[in-house]
Structure 1
Amino acid sequence: MSRLLFTGLPLRIRVVIAVTAFFLAVAAILAVLIAVSVRDMTSTATSIDDARARHAAKAAIAALQEHLSATARDNTVWDDGYEHITSPEAKEFSDTTWGKSTIDNPLFDASIVVTPQQTILSSYKKGQEFDPHSFFDSSLADIIGHAKTSGRVPVVSFVRSADGLAIMAAGMIRPYNRTIDADAPLHTLVLVRFMSAETLDEIEQTFDLDDLSVSETPEPHMLSVPLNDADGNTLTYLQWESREPGTMIYDRVHGYLLTAAIVLAAFLVAVLVTGFMAVRMLQRSTDRARHRATHDVLSGLLNRAGILEKLDKAIAADRADLMLHLIDLDGFKGVNDAWGHAVGDELIKLVAARVQSHLPADALFARLGGDEFAVATPLHTATDLAQRIVDCVAEPFMIGGRTIEIGASIGTVTAQNDVPDALELLRRADMALYTAKEGGRGQAVTFTANLDNDRLMAAELEDRLRRALERGEIQVAYQPLFDAQAGRVVGVEALAQWVPITGRVSPEIFIPIAERSGLIDQLGMQVLKTAIEQAQKWKTLALSVNVSPIQLRNPNFPADVIRLLDKTGFDPHRLTLEITEGVLMSNPDQARRAIEALRNIGVKFALDDFGCGYASIGALRTFGFDRMKIDRSLVSGLKNREGSEVLTATISLAHALNIPVTAEGVETPEQMAALKQTGCDQLQGFLLGRPMSGADIAALVRSSAA
């Protein structure tokens, strides 16, 4: 029946009742938990303090015994004391030194000196002579018996006396430095401290204990520790009252607990009131959360999830009447790096507003993240839209008095019947965008089936390359490096070659694939290992190996190279690693660390393809290259006056920085003659020698030496 009753109520009432019941249950659980916690807290606090008190009492007893033992040790192991106790003045010495000092000695209350014949030589208690045998009964003889076998360490134990419990320490009086016969007769000194009310008060103050007393049997409600004689038997107990701090804590927090109960009741009442309001606010909150989940906070546009949802609906309604434009801003990262993220965020908002102004009213506009946007429009409104977006983004932006210029690359795709959902549409647009950026940026590319075919071919080639690396099918050819003046071979450059059964694959194809797929580290180390093993056979030739910027960004690269050199025993001074200037721009800090680590062991570095990029004099100085390789484009430019002057200036610059120069791409005798005349140190090119096998290099070395 209750189920029917609740089913008939409106949803908001059912929610309120459920929430109220939940909070009532929570309140009951909290009340029980608090009660249990308070009980455990009080008992735990008391237990902890009782344990502290027991530890303190044991420490106090140990301290009393240690103090009395130290006093007895100082007075029994004593050269002068031994001389006097074995002299005719032994009685007078004992009375003066120990006996009469008991009247006000803070360390002991009684002293007894026993002769080797077990007679009493001296016995004093509080400055007065007394009969120790009757006062201590058999305890005196017991502790003296233990002292005979304790060596230099006095025996300490609790004993009963006519005045109550006492601590007794006994030791044989012997010299400290002198050697005596093992069976020499020795006197025994016994020092006694009574467990008087004054002693107990001293323990209470020092060790933070209350109402100490000594009892034959401990009372049930008292805390206690046993006090033992020399044989380890319990004589009596030291007991005291527990402070029960747990009870005191409870008394202190009782008022707070009562207040907490009242507050909890008031809270439950507030829950009933706010519950009705919560239902009403829930829908508004849901709407706001949905907007945040589907919109970009910075630009106010749809986000990735928002446009995918709308694209799925649009594709389901009419697949053939939709075009998607995927936009990526060219140069945005440079703006962020140069002016900071605040300027970058402002630029994103300005781009969004400008592109929005060029879109038709029914377009979907989204920011997918970073500097990537998407625009979806009906096919009939998309004519020339991509180019209009490229043009409008290319116009300068003014931010804080700065003129900022960027561009846009766009990939477009039309929703065909073979597009199952928005993700596939976005994937195709992304492929077209990638092609646009690879083709020079600032342009729009439309997706075609050929792009998918290219992707499949690239994936197939990547898979073949991976298998080739696993089977060790990558070969290494060697192109000779000639001394420009002497005309002899002085080194070789190792070049990776891949010649599967389907035909040779150019390095310009498989090396970028290796870089994109993460295979470049494996490929680079295989080539380096093969080249080093081959170069071991050429004792006089230097070895140059190209290194990808991605390899140099790997923090493990220097250690891998050093490990390979150690394993093969190859002289690091013969190895030159060639890097392009791109690595200096993409990650200069990591490049510097890698170069320094390898140069420390003798490896040299050459700047490859100088003259075809953006390398600066500052970079040459900062990284301290051991060699500069002039790009073949400068060599081929020797046929005209301007090109010849540029090449001459480049070589002069290198010489001014004390950097040797290698010219690559030498193909004609005229080029070789001009390079020699300009002071080039090394020459490399088809005119002098094509890439060849290791055996051919060996033959070439022999012929050039002859």
Structure 2
Amino acid sequence: MPPIGALASASAALRKQAGMSHADAFDHSASQANRFRTLAGIALAGLVVLLVTAAYVVNQFDTVAYETQFQIARQNYHTRIIHIARAIAPLTTSAETAQHLADPNWIDQHLAQHLASEHEMERLFVLDAQGRPFYAAISGQRAPLADYRPFAQAVGDVLPALSAARVQNPSVMGSNILRYQNQLYLLTITQTGPSGSAVIITGLPFNDAMLRKFGLRHLADELTITNHPMPKKGYNLLPLADVRGNVIAAIRWKQQSPAVMVFGRLRTTLAAATIIVLLVGFCLLRQSAAIARHLIASEARARHLALHDALTGLPNRTLLLERLGNWQAIARDVPVGIALHCLDLDRFKEVNDTLGHPSGDELIRAVAGRLVSLCRETDTVARMGGDEFIILQPQADATAAMLLAEQVLDTLRQPFQLEAGTCSIACSIGIALVQDSSADAADMLRQADLALYQSKERGRNRATFFEPEMDAALRLRRRMEQDLREAIRLGQLHMVYQPQVDEKRRLVGMEALIRWDHPERGPIGPTLFVPLAEEAGMMAELGEFTLRTVFQETAAWRGAPVGINVSALQLRTPAFMATVTRLVAEYCIDPAQYQIEITETAMLGQDGATRDNIDVLAQEGFSIALDDFGTGFSSLSSLHRFAIDKIKIDRSFVRNLDAGDVDNRKLINAIIRLGRAMDLEVIAEGVETERQHSLLVMAGCTRFQGYLYGRPVPAAQMPERFQAGWEHPVTRKTH
């Protein structure tokens, strides 16, 4: 601000230059002064606003600092108690401890001295089944039993609740605090021995040395334990109460005011600031607040995206596991039943295939909305990805869990109205009840997923509870997968051959069948281990083993037709023909000697690799036989398109011939007539009785296979004439 003299000189010069009157000059000066006073008033008002704002911010920062200090102190106090209990639990609750509690010398060496040296436990008492002390130690050294008397009341306050809780959880521990001889103690009480017949009490001094482990030193000054838990200006208190609620001590610290200290250092600079600096500061303050709000909002959005599914907005796996962990922590103190529902939508793929992926996304959102509407506020509906959802249902037993599952099943059966049209789906549910609050959360999800798998196996659209037998079955399955992989690698599988005969029971061919003699479980049929190989991704290795073994054992059987089963999964593999070509060259076999037997499922769909592999097999000279004809989805166009040479009547039709089923006989007659009309050779499988043979011959069948003509035998047991040469020529249809 310019000096007053300079203003007067300037006014005089202006009056002289402009010829202004004294009154006019006075009026001009007054006007300038008024403007100055106005600007000064504005600056002062701005300064006041700034100071008020700064005071408010200081107060808010100090409030947050106080709350942070208090929460950290309280959390670390409870955490310390939990850590103490967990640290000594392996000692006090072990079977060895329960076995030797009657031996004071053993207690000296394995409990008292160890707890004193490793865990800083000053006091140790052991009570008998009547609650009387029969052992006492101070700092690891045996002490008179009378030393327990001051601690008896604090222990007695805990024992009734501890005994009641032990019915639900045998490993539960109790805790209490008391003051004795001007020293605060943290007590842990553990019932051990048969049916809780003994009680172990440990006393840890709660002193300033323990406070150093609280992680609060950087936030508080003069941190100490006080015997007088009375409020004191400038200090914060965390009251410490025993189980009766009596406050017997407190953690006290001098409250730090970081904002006040920072503000005090800047006071001189703020006082010397000009109006422009104040205005700039005010603008910066507003801009900083806007940036802070933006950062907070951005952080909230980032956290939401990290913990929620982008498509539905539901919690994702991370947030689900976090909430499950929180409920498990609550369940450790208060018995709380927890149920996990694992849901998988049935027929969801059909919606994607028929209506498109946008409709599939719309359906997922609609399903999420229905699930949320069924659940309580305490429940969590999470999406794990794809068409799989998880419902976390706390405070629920088996009855409540099944009730919710049935509601979900009923709700999802109702049609969904999508933009592309109406669709109907269902779902399968697996339910796992969390019995152990300390169990791994991922293991709980795995149990629910196992139960879901059982629901699907039992026909879908149902809910199934997890049972321990499911886990055992899964482990057995995994063991079987390992054993099968090892059996393929070591060549422990072997081939047997079942004869095929004509109507005069002359040998006209054979079918190669794979067998597995497990070293522990004995013979395992291919209907069990072949699907296992397909699910475990071992079909390529198993298929190559089969082809290699058959070619190796039958290469010398010139002209002897041999049928080899090939799965639909093998035919879908582009590398299948490369394997066949390599093995044909390696063993110098004639493809015309072999027929590749495929199932009807291999002909479903428009899979290019399957169609190409079958075409190349036919071009190379292999004949193609359709196995289990009539049990799947055969069509005349498929028989023609895939160049089928033979069809095999499934054994289920042949078995019913003995029962006199007229419709079944008509069906067999129709299959035989179809084969003749299409110039296909027809083979009847599973012939076991003379009546079946006679009826098939009467129907016009000319090729037969079954136990009536011979059981499958290894290659070494085939007839000598069969190995020396084949008297019947190999014929196949020309396409």
CA contact (8 A) 1:661 1:681 kept: yes
The yes-or-no answer on 1:427 pairing with 2:440 is: no
Q: Deviations over 1:186-243 (max 9, x none)?
A: xxxxxxxxxxxxxxxxxxxxxxxxxxxxxxxxxxxxxxxxxxxxxxxxxxxxxxxxxx
The alpha carbon displacement at 1:377 in A equals: 0.7
How far apart, in 1, do the equivalents of 2:698 and 2:649 lie? 15
CA contact (8 A) 1:326 1:411 kept: yes
How far apart, in 2, do the equivalents of 1:357 and 1:615 lie? 45
Q: Deviations over 1:649-674 (max 9, x none)?
A: 23333333333222211112222222
- Out of 543, 561, 568, the position equivalent to 2:587 is 568
- Out of 474, 489, 498, the position equivalent to 2:493 is 474
The alpha carbon displacement at 1:700 in A equals: 7.7
How far apart, in 2, do the equivalents of 1:521 and 1:439 lie? 29
Question: 1:672 corresponds to which residue?
Answer: 693
How far apart, in 2, do the equivalents of 1:654 and 1:403 lie? 43
Q: How does 1:595-606 map to 2 (within 5 A)?
A: 595-606=614-625
Instruction: Give the letter for the 1:662 counterpart.
Output: I
The yes-or-no answer on 1:315 pairing with 2:336 is: no
Instruction: Give the letter for the 1:644 counterpart.
Output: R
CA contact (8 A) 1:330 1:406 kept: yes
5+ unaligned residues in a row in structure 1: which ranges? 1-8, 14-269
Question: 1:295 corresponds to which residue?
Answer: 308
Question: 2:391 corresponds to which residue?
Answer: 375
Question: 1:493 corresponds to which residue?
Answer: 511
Q: How does 1:8-157 map to 2 (within 5 A)?
A: none
User: Aligned with 2:523: secondary structure?
Assistant: coil
Q: CA RMSD in A?
A: 2.8
Q: How does 1:528-567 map to 2 (within 5 A)?
A: 528-567=547-586
Q: How does 1:181-260 map to 2 (within 5 A)?
A: none
CA contact (8 A) 2:558 2:593 kept: no
The yes-or-no answer on 1:683 pairing with 2:683 is: no
How far apart, in 2, do the equivalents of 1:462 and 1:633 lie? 29
The alpha carbon displacement at 1:699 in A equals: 4.4
1:656 and 1:338, CA in 2 relative to 1: closer, same or farther beyond 3 A? Answer: farther
How far apart, in 2, do the equivalents of 1:560 and 1:527 lie? 12
Question: 2:654 corresponds to which residue?
Answer: 635
- Out of 298, 302, 308, the position equivalent to 1:285 is 298
How far apart, in 1, do the equivalents of 2:319 and 2:723 lie? 71
Q: Deviations over 1:581-609 (max 9, x none)?
A: 22333672221122122222112222221
The alpha carbon displacement at 1:272 in A equals: 11
The alpha carbon displacement at 1:499 in A equals: 1.1
The alpha carbon displacement at 1:702 in A equals: 8.4
1:520 and 1:646, CA in 2 relative to 1: closer, same or farther beyond 3 A? Answer: same
The alpha carbon displacement at 1:475 in A equals: 0.8
CA contact (8 A) 1:480 1:697 kept: no
Question: 2:235 corresponds to which residue?
Answer: none
The yes-or-no answer on 1:325 pairing with 2:341 is: yes
CA contact (8 A) 1:627 1:660 kept: yes
Q: Deviations over 1:251-272 (max 9, x none)?
A: xxxxxxxxxxxxxxxxxxx999
Instruction: Give the letter for the 1:547 counterpart.
Output: V
- Out of 353, 378, 386, the position equivalent to 2:405 is 386
Q: Deviations over 1:113-156 (max 9, x none)?
A: xxxxxxxxxxxxxxxxxxxxxxxxxxxxxxxxxxxxxxxxxxxx
How far apart, in 2, do the equivalents of 1:450 and 1:418 lie? 21
1:332 and 1:657, CA in 2 relative to 1: closer, same or farther beyond 3 A? Answer: farther
1:592 and 1:273, CA in 2 relative to 1: closer, same or farther beyond 3 A? Answer: farther
The yes-or-no answer on 1:305 pairing with 2:318 is: yes
CA contact (8 A) 1:607 1:627 kept: yes
Question: 2:268 corresponds to which residue?
Answer: none
Q: How does 1:333-482 map to 2 (within 5 A)?
A: 333-378=349-394, 379-380=396-397, 381-400=400-419, 402-417=421-436, 420-482=439-501
CA contact (8 A) 2:656 2:664 kept: yes
- Out of 564, 583, 593, the position equivalent to 2:602 is 583
5+ unaligned residues in a row in structure 2: which ranges? 1-56, 62-282, 729-735
Instruction: Give the letter for the 2:369 counterpart.
Output: A
1:369 and 1:702, CA in 2 relative to 1: closer, same or farther beyond 3 A? Answer: closer
- Out of 647, 658, 663, the position equivalent to 2:679 is 658
Question: 1:123 corresponds to which residue?
Answer: none
The yes-or-no answer on 1:615 pairing with 2:634 is: yes
Question: 1:648 corresponds to which residue?
Answer: 669
1:281 and 1:661, CA in 2 relative to 1: closer, same or farther beyond 3 A? Answer: same
Q: Deviations over 1:267-305 (max 9, x none)?
A: xxx999966633320110111122122222322322222
How far apart, in 2, do the equivalents of 1:566 and 1:684 lie? 30
The alpha carbon displacement at 1:328 in A equals: 0.7
TM-score w.r.t. the length of structure 2 is 0.56
User: Aligned with 1:302: secondary structure?
Assistant: coil
Count of equivalent residues: 440
The yes-or-no answer on 1:693 pairing with 2:714 is: yes
How far apart, in 2, do the equivalents of 1:272 and 1:435 lie? 62
1:490 and 1:447, CA in 2 relative to 1: closer, same or farther beyond 3 A? Answer: same
Instruction: Give the letter for the 1:572 counterpart.
Output: P
Q: Deviations over 1:31-80 (max 9, x none)?
A: xxxxxxxxxxxxxxxxxxxxxxxxxxxxxxxxxxxxxxxxxxxxxxxxxx
CA contact (8 A) 2:618 2:643 kept: no
User: Aligned with 2:391: secondary structure?
Assistant: strand
CA contact (8 A) 1:562 1:598 kept: no
The alpha carbon displacement at 1:356 in A equals: 3.1
CA contact (8 A) 1:407 1:442 kept: yes
How far apart, in 2, do the equivalents of 1:457 and 1:541 lie? 40
Structure whose CA Rg is larger:
1
How far apart, in 2, do the equivalents of 1:648 and 1:360 lie? 61
User: Aligned with 1:529: secondary structure?
Assistant: helix
1:275 and 1:520, CA in 2 relative to 1: closer, same or farther beyond 3 A? Answer: same
The alpha carbon displacement at 1:542 in A equals: 0.9
CA contact (8 A) 1:538 1:698 kept: no
1:700 and 1:293, CA in 2 relative to 1: closer, same or farther beyond 3 A? Answer: farther
CA contact (8 A) 1:576 1:604 kept: yes
CA contact (8 A) 1:488 1:705 kept: no
How far apart, in 1, do the equivalents of 2:487 and 2:349 lie? 37
Instruction: Give the letter for the 2:695 counterpart.
Output: A
TM-score w.r.t. the length of structure 1 is 0.58
CA contact (8 A) 1:480 1:491 kept: yes
1:513 and 1:374, CA in 2 relative to 1: closer, same or farther beyond 3 A? Answer: same
The alpha carbon displacement at 1:412 in A equals: 0.7
User: Aligned with 2:448: secondary structure?
Assistant: helix
Question: 2:95 corresponds to which residue?
Answer: none
The alpha carbon displacement at 1:462 in A equals: 1.7
The alpha carbon displacement at 1:701 in A equals: 4.1
CA contact (8 A) 1:490 1:540 kept: no
